[in-house]
Structure 1
């Protein structure tokens, strides 16, 4: 009778040879397809390793079962249990690779490095969220299946199911913030309120959405910083989305100039400036005088561009060109501050007892008499203003009582 371990070695060798043959056939078929199609290369990159590991584990398990049938050895239940967990783990790994392959294949069909990429950004964002949810579900199921293979855990699971109501309440309270962020992330993605590569303004910061996970959103700011915010922030606070319907934007440039500026000449020069740059998309160009107060006139220029970064560069370009043109062609239009000098009127302190400013109803005797006419008040008359002060005072008293 042959040694069981020798039989095991022979069976294991045969099983491994069979696994290698299967791997070689599958690899040859996929490589043949990879010469003509890109999806095959992507499948090889994601599923090659977990597929090989799964075949090796299955081959070794088959060898043990054939070499030691009937579980006559006392250690065979432990071996079977170990291989069962290994198959579950490698199978979950293979499923995750397939999910990654499928989602990368879907994402690769839609490019986001083109101007009109709203549909591509929506599909990319939703696909990434679906991938994360699916991978999380696969991991949870695999861990649960592995734990349920232990008899002690099965008994614990029965007791947990018996008290499912209390357990669900406790779990809900403990994971309230986590679940809130998870549902907020799903809501953001499938409501299309936020997508990957969207340009948004939040917390006074401008940037692009770099990543949306099940718990947080990563914003790539314009100065290479990263702003990380929880998903619940975007469902409870307002934010600006500059690419919600499209990437085209309208921007303004404002200049405060002197009244001697010529808007007509500025408008003509603006058209020349815009035709010389590729930053302008040609949709709109407007020059208007929006204010004419405070000694200056405010000229507002409106221009359009294909996206936010291009618009910022265009605004800077137009502003610089218009300032240079005003300095060279219309120096009289540069903003100035005017001070009007008036001659001294020679008013005495008696004529202007309140700082030399005679008002309509205050400042001198005549003004106070006018005030008494409207308010029925008794005027204050200086001794030098009338020869008969008492008579004037009586007359004032009569007017006040009449």
Structure 2
């Protein structure tokens, strides 16, 4: 009976001590968050509460279970110790990932708040997301290796595994050549500033916004809400358009086909009126010129500017719609038409 009572005391005391320390840590973090609202670090650290409690409980049980002389526990002391060691390693890995995520996210939030350049914010966001994935993968691999080392059989074969690591590495490198290529391409994109989360790109004729970047894949959200998933090696091996590179400001064109008798000066004045009434136009520049002629029409090219690709699309649509409507109402003769009447005779001809 004393052994059972001691078991209950050890387990109950560990649970109560873990709960008390977890409550105290949460209280301190809440007070720190209230005193320093300028940084989200303390509120983000509160998300580590479950991992901290599990880590404390596993550490307490791992350190005190040998003091229990309960017969079933004594008979399976090695297995119980191994299970508690695995639990302790897993909890430690969980805590490290959560703690690192809180620190990184807090640093990114403070940087984004104090930086006015959206391109730099997107670049740091891309790097942060990839760094967190790398940290998570490294911690998972180290934790898995530590768990395996708790088994004596794996320690015994360690020498043979290391001896054959060279051959296995060569075989794995050949078999995973494309995967490793995408992995290194992900590093190149993250720290080479080629493309960032939030950039507007054109790939394979599709216009969209980069929504997510992983170590091997990149997701582009198109204007019609489709998702195009591509290997990151595509962006390091093939040309693509990045409309956000070097600033989000853009210049676009609108082409109109009109009759040869179209009043170009009046159309130019109407274009300026349309742009003055369009909120998406940033006022940096505009122009209208005759760029080409055909046997039946002349080609008018209107140049407009906007602060980003979305506004540029709005300006182009507005200009195209209002100019065509204005020509149809005020100058219908300027619209392209097919002539079916006989040609006018030249002077002097009968």
Is the shorter-chain TM-score for this pair beyond 0.5, marking a shared fold? yes
1:249 partnered with 2:250: yes
Instruction: Give the Cα separation in 1 of the matches to 2:110 and 2:324.
Output: 46
- For 1:304 and 1:134, the matched residues in 2 are separated by 42
Asked if 1 retains the 8 angstrom alpha-carbon contact of 2:97 and 2:136, the reply is yes
Q: Cα distance, 1:110 vs. partner?
A: 5.0
1:334 aligns with 2:328: no
Q: CA deviation at 1:39?
A: 2.4
**Pairwise CA distance, 1:211:** 0.5
1:300 alignment partner, SS class: strand
Contact 1:103 1:128 in 2 (8 A): no
CA distance in 1, matches of 2:189, 2:122: 13
Rounded Cα–Cα distance in structure 2 between residues aligned with 1:115 and 1:30:
30
Contact 2:185 2:233 (8 Å CA) reproduced: yes
Kindly indicate whether residue 32 of structure 2 is the aligned counterpart of residue 33 of structure 1.
yes
- Consecutive unaligned residues in structure 1, runs of 5 or more: 344-402
Alignment of 1:158-197 (within 5 A): 158-197=159-198
Q: Give me the whole-angstrom Cα distance separating, in 2, the residues matched to 1:274 and 1:313.
A: 11
CA contact (8 A) 2:280 2:312 kept: yes
1:283 aligns with 2:284: yes
Helix, strand or coil for the counterpart of 2:303? strand
Contact 1:259 1:295 in 2 (8 A): yes
Q: Is the 8 A contact 2:41 2:103 kept in 1?
A: no
Aligned equivalent of 2:44: 42
Shift of 1:320: 1.0
TM-score scaled by length of structure 1: 0.79
TM-score of the superposition, structure 2-length normalised? 0.90
Report SS of the residue matched to 1:291: strand
Partners of 1:119 and 1:179 lie apart in 2 by: 28
User: 2: CA distance between counterparts of 1:242 and 1:109?
Assistant: 27
Unpaired runs of at least 5, structure 2 = 345-350
Would you say 1:227 and 2:245 are equivalent positions?
no
Q: What is the SS of the residue equivalent to 1:260?
A: coil
Superposed CA RMSD = 2.2
Partner-residue secondary structure (3-state), 1:283: strand
In the alignment, what sits opposite 1:99? 100
Give the distance between the partners of 2:116 and 2:309, measured in 1 at CA.
11
Instruction: Please state whether the residue corresponding to 1:73 is helix, strand or coil.
Output: helix
- How far did residue 50 of structure 1 move? 0.6
Aligned length in residues: 338
Deviation at 1:254, TM superposition (A): 0.6
* Deviation digits for residues 361-391 of structure 1 (CA, Å, limit 9, x no counterpart): xxxxxxxxxxxxxxxxxxxxxxxxxxxxxxx
Task: Describe the superposition over 1:58-99 as per-residue Cα deviations: whole angstroms up to 9, x where unpaired.
Answer: 222223123359xx9342222211111110000001111112
- Does the aligned pair in 2 maintain the 1:281–1:305 contact within 8 Å? yes
Over residues 271-296 of structure 1, what are the superposed CA-to-partner deviations in whole Å (9 max), with x where a residue is unaligned? 11111111100111111111134232
Q: Is the 8 A contact 2:189 2:195 kept in 1?
A: yes
- Residues 1:81 and 2:66 are matched in the alignment: no
Q: Using the TM superposition, name which of 231-240 and 97-106 deviates more.
A: 97-106
CA contact (8 A) 1:326 1:334 kept: yes
Q: Go from structure 1 to structure 2 and tell me whether the alpha carbon gap of 1:62 and 1:9 turns closer, same or farther (over 3 Å shift).
A: farther
Give the conservation status (yes or no) of the 8 Å contact 1:115–1:247. no
1:315 maps to: 316
SS in 1 for 2:282: coil
Alignment of 1:3-402 (within 5 A): 3-36=2-35, 37=37, 38-45=40-47, 47-68=48-69, 73-109=74-110, 111=112, 116-338=117-339, 341=342
Q: How far apart are 1:111 and its partner, in Å?
A: 5.0
In the TM superposition, what is the alpha-carbon distance from 1:256 to its structure 2 partner?
A: 1.2
Mapped to 2, the partners of 1:39 and 1:9 lie a distance apart of 38
* 1:148-193 Cα shifts (integer Å, max 9, x gaps): 1111111222101112211211121222222111111111111111
Looking at structure 1, the residues matched to 168 and 189 of structure 2 have their Cα atoms a distance apart, in angstroms, of 29
Is contact 1:255–1:299 with CA below 8 Å preserved after alignment?
Answer: yes
* Greater Cα radius of gyration, structure 1 or 2: 1
- The alignment partner of 2:207 has SS state of strand
Range that drifts further, 248-257 or 100-109 = 100-109
